[in-house]
């Protein structure tokens, strides 16, 4: 297994095609018609020349209870079906978490997930926060109804109050 982290702007066109295929396999079309943020970074997990798993990272200053918070947004965790249950997603997440701390030095990681995934993320250190989450969309700010989880990175105390991502979700 080889793990690399690349900026979105430096992805090779052939790698981007493979990544798009992986994402399409993992995530069915979005019925909610949500406008998603563009990724800043990609954690790519390779087995030989096959892209097997992926995590995207978005850098963002958001607000929580009106206070600015530097976030490393985690999204797009995907593993090809035939490669699942081998620890690849966990390895990608650990690499992403180290990158949030060592390279980006964000206050917290933040991810939005399906209810059935909260247990998985909880096992690797993420904590569920029960606050409303505002996201930016073309029609303005809207409340997003999915579970939100945070990971303390460079700060320990998550602020109280409503979370405003100050842009689209990831």
What is the pLDDT, as a whole number, of residue 32? 64
* Sign, Cα dihedral of 81, 82, 84, 89: negative
Task: For residue range 1-36, list pLDDT tens digits in order.
Answer: 999 999 999 999 999 999 999 998 888 776 668 999
For residues 55 and 42, the answer to whether their CB atoms sit within 8 Å is: yes
Task: For residue range 108-154, list pLDDT tens digits in order.
Answer: 999 999 999 999 999 999 999 977 899 999 999 999 999 999 999 99
DSSP string, 40-107: SEEEEEEETTEEEEEEEEEEEEEEETTEEEEEEEEEEEEE-GGG-SSSHHHHHHHHHHHHIIIII--S
Query: What is the pTM (predicted TM-score) of this model?
Result: 0.93
What is the pLDDT, as a whole number, of residue 90? 96
Structural domains in the chain plus CATH codes = 2-164 (3.40.630.30)
Task: For residue range 48-104, list pLDDT tens digits in order.
Answer: 999 999 999 999 999 999 999 999 999 999 999 999 999 999 999 999 999 999 999
What is the pLDDT, as a whole number, of residue 112? 96
Could you count the other beta carbons within 10 Å of the beta carbon of residue 103?
12
């Amino acid at each position: 297994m080889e793990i690399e982290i690349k900026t979105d702007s430096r992805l090779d066109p052939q790698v981007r095609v493979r990544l798009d295929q992986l994402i399409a396999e993992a995530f069915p079309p979005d019925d909610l018609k949500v406008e998603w943020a563009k990724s800043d970074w990609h954690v790519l997990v390779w087995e030989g020349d096959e892209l097997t798993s992926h995590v995207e990272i978005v850098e963002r200053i958001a607000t929580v209870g009106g206070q600015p918070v530097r976030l490393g947004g985690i999204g797009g965790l995907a593993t090809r079906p035939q490669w699942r249950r081998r620890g690849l997603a966990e390895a990608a997440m650990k690499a992403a978490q180290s990158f949030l701390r060592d390279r980006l030095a964000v206050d917290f990681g933040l991810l939005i997930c399906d209810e059935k995934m909260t247990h998985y993320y909880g096992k690797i250190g993420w904590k569920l926060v029960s606050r409303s989450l505002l996201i930016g969309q073309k029609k303005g700010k809207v409340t997003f109804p999915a579970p939100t989880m945070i990971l303390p990175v460079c700060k320990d105390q998550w602020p109280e109050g409503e979370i405003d991502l100050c842009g689209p979700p990831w």
